[in-house]
Structure 1
Amino acid sequence: MDYVCAHAGRPASDVTRRDVARALLAVPSGVALVALPDLRRAMMSAGNPLSIAFWESAKATLGSIESGVATVGDVQRWVESTGTEPILMTPSYFVWPEEDERGPVAAEMFGRMVTHLEERVTAGEIDPDALAAGDQEARSAYEELQERWLSTPLPDGRVPGFAVSDEQDEELFSVWDEEEAFALSELQRIMAELPKQPEVPLRELETASVRLRALLALPGYPATVLRACAGFDERPMPDDDVELWLAVAAGVAGPISDLSENMDVLEEFADLDGELSEEDMALANLCAIQHADWLAGVAALVRLGPGVLASPERMARFIAESEDIDIDVQDDEDLGATESLFGSVVVLWRQLGIVNDDEVLTPLGWWGLPKALERAWSPAE
């Protein structure tokens, strides 16, 4: 009893089902099972007996854990059935961060939610025994109550669900910015160490730019993807050839916008059994490539220079064997996944003249790829 109270930070008279469940899960299941009868008697003596349904559910869950048949989902569902544990993922797909990954806002909102649920249990609006028994109607009401709280503004105007999501987004953007800054510094170091710096091939750049302008005016793939990558659906194309070419090449490494939204596209993504279009798959592949992979692949190309094969398979090998990044040993499946991602890249590189029809790096690609990455990874002015 002393351990449960210390773990919960409350006196025995105020300990909830959730407090007991979390304390029981904090020790080995065998220890918890042995202690269960004494704990139950101690709770009765403290005037807080909980319920028969709770103790039976605790014994069943701990027994399943001890025998090795309980899943993580089973245990999570049991804790949620205490009536005051926020649902890990709501029906609208709001997901609470793991306890050790919550920022100050998420920790505050989670605590507020627990308090709100405790108040609702006291008011009789939540029936923990029905939840423990697996009553679907009680579970649906429990989920709806939490959905409603997450979308209702607090007195200070913050909407709990949005506040947590905004904090997570800020954390992700911060990590992304750090990775981008590191990749940029490594790229600049690698370029500075080259025995010969690439020079702009003006004739090739002019030819590629004329072809690119004509391509970008066309409907369908790959023009739609290149326009989205460069953000030309939302801003005009520059008149300067260098600016145009670098904007598109940088967009391949760091797409600026999504494809123009329409109902057909939304329906495609909603259809989990359907296949994505070529343009949707291409943009998804570009967004899935990590900074480290871009750095490793392009570093290998600029060191070897024009004439090196830059096929998707070769790019996957360059990345797997790179000494510029920390990477685990790659098996055939890993190589295949990287090759698949760069399959979309090499197709677009060919349109830009970065590689020729044989997927060989051109002088334009040798000069332009590091310039494009530098642009993609530099902070927006």
Structure 2
Amino acid sequence: MDFVCAHAGRPVLALTRRDVARALLAVPSGVALVALPDLRREMLAAGRPLTPTFWESAKAILSSIEAGQATVGDVQRWLESTGTEPILMTPSYFVWPEEDERGPVAAEMYARLVAYLEERLAAGEIEPDALVSGDREARRAYEELQEQWLSTPLPDGRVPGFAVSDEQDEELFAAWDEEEAYALSELRHIMAELPKQPEAPLAELEAAAARLRALLALPGYPSNVLRACAGFEDRPLPDDDAELWLAVAAGIAGPISDLSEGGDVLEEFVDLDGELSEEDIALANLCAIQHADWLAGVAALARMGPGVLASPERMARLIAESEDVDVDEHADDDVEATERLFTSVVTLWGYLGIVDEDDVLTPLGWWGLPKALERSWAPPAE
């Protein structure tokens, strides 16, 4: 009992089922099973008995853990059945970050929700024995109680669910910016070490830009994807050929916007029996490629120069064998996945003249790819 009180940071008379459950899960299941009878007697003697239903459920879940039969979901569900443990994922798909990944806001909101649930439990609005026995109505009421709290403004105006999501978004964006800055630094370092810097093939650039202007004026794929990648859906094309070409090439490495064509996008994506369009597949593939893969692939092409094969299969192999990025050894299925992603890339590269009809890197691609990648990763101020 002393361990449980210390773990919860509360005296015995203030302990909740959640406190006891979390303390039992904090030690090896065999140790918890052995200690369970003594703990139950000590809490009874101290005037803080819990119901037989709780103790039976504790014995059952600990035995299942010890036997290697309990899943993570089983343990989480049991912990939530204590009546004051927030649901890890609500019916509306709000998901709490893992405990060791919560920022200050998430930690604060989590603690506030625990305190709120303790108040509702004390008021008799939560039935933990019904929860642990699997009563559906009790579970539904428990879920609705938390959904309502997450969407109700606090006295300071913050809405808990939105506050947590906003913090997670900020952390995600910060991590993305950090990864992008590192990739940009590595790219510049690699290019500075090249024995010969690529020069702009002006005639090829002018011809490619002319073809690109004509292509971007057309409806459908690939024009709509290239416009979305460069952010040209709602702004005019630049007059300068190099500016136009680099904007589109950079957009392939980092799409600026999504498709804005007509149609009900939500209806399209909830149609599980339907097939994704060619443009949807292309944009999804572009967005799935990691900074490290772009860096490895483009660095390899920059070193080898024009005339090298840049097919999807070759790009996947160059990335897998790259020494420019620290990645685990690529399994065959990883290489195949990378190849599928770069199928869309190489196809779009062909429209820009980065590769020729045989997927061979052109002088224009050798000059432009590193510049496009740098443009995609550089902060707006640059």
Fold conserved between structures, TM > 0.5 = yes
Match of 2:260 in 1: 260
> How far apart are the structure 1 equivalents of 2:75 and 2:234?
48
CA drift at 1:267: 1.8
Match of 1:102 in 2: 102
> How far apart are the structure 2 equivalents of 1:234 and 1:110?
41
1:315-337 C-alpha deviation (Å, 9 max, x unpaired)? 00110111101111112101100
SS at match of 1:37: helix
> How far apart are the structure 2 equivalents of 1:295 and 1:250?
13
CA drift at 1:273: 4.1
> How far apart are the structure 1 equivalents of 2:263 and 2:126?
40
> How far apart are the structure 2 equivalents of 1:56 and 1:230?
61
CA drift at 1:367: 0.5
SS at match of 1:184: helix
Match of 1:153 in 2: 153
| Count of residue pairs brought into register by the alignment | 381
SS at match of 1:38: helix
Q: 1:112 to 1:319 in 2, by over 3 A?
A: same
When the two chains are superposed, the root-mean-square deviation of aligned CA atoms in Å is 1.0
Q: Does 1:92 align with 2:72?
A: no
Q: Does 1:33 align with 2:56?
A: no
Q: Residue 172 of structure 1 aligns to which amino acid in structure 2?
A: L
CA drift at 1:50: 1.6
Match of 1:271 in 2: 271
CA drift at 1:262: 4.8
Q: Residue 115 of structure 1 aligns to which amino acid in structure 2?
A: A
Q: 1:15 to 1:261 in 2, by over 3 A?
A: farther
Match of 2:283 in 1: 283
> How far apart are the structure 2 equivalents of 1:61 and 1:163?
34
CA drift at 1:290: 0.6
> How far apart are the structure 1 equivalents of 2:154 and 2:263?
34
TM-score, length basis structure 1: 0.98
Match of 1:241 in 2: 241
CA drift at 1:34: 1.0
Q: Does 1:215 align with 2:215?
A: yes
Gaps of 5+ in 2: none
SS at match of 2:250: helix
CA drift at 1:45: 1.4
> How far apart are the structure 1 equivalents of 2:202 and 2:268?
42
Runs (4+) of structure 1 moved beyond 4 Å? Answer: none
> How far apart are the structure 1 equivalents of 2:251 and 2:220?
18
CA drift at 1:263: 4.4
CA drift at 1:239: 1.4
CA drift at 1:241: 1.1
> How far apart are the structure 2 equivalents of 1:111 and 1:99?
11
Gaps of 5+ in 1: none
TM-score, length basis structure 2: 0.98
Q: Where in structure 2 are the equivalents of 1:1-381 lying within 5 Å?
A: 1-260=1-260, 262-381=262-381
1:177-206 C-alpha deviation (Å, 9 max, x unpaired)? 111111111111111111111111111111
> How far apart are the structure 1 equivalents of 2:199 and 2:32?
71
SS at match of 1:359: coil
> How far apart are the structure 2 equivalents of 1:283 and 1:199?
30
Q: Residue 285 of structure 1 aligns to which amino acid in structure 2?
A: N
Identity of aligned residues (%): 81
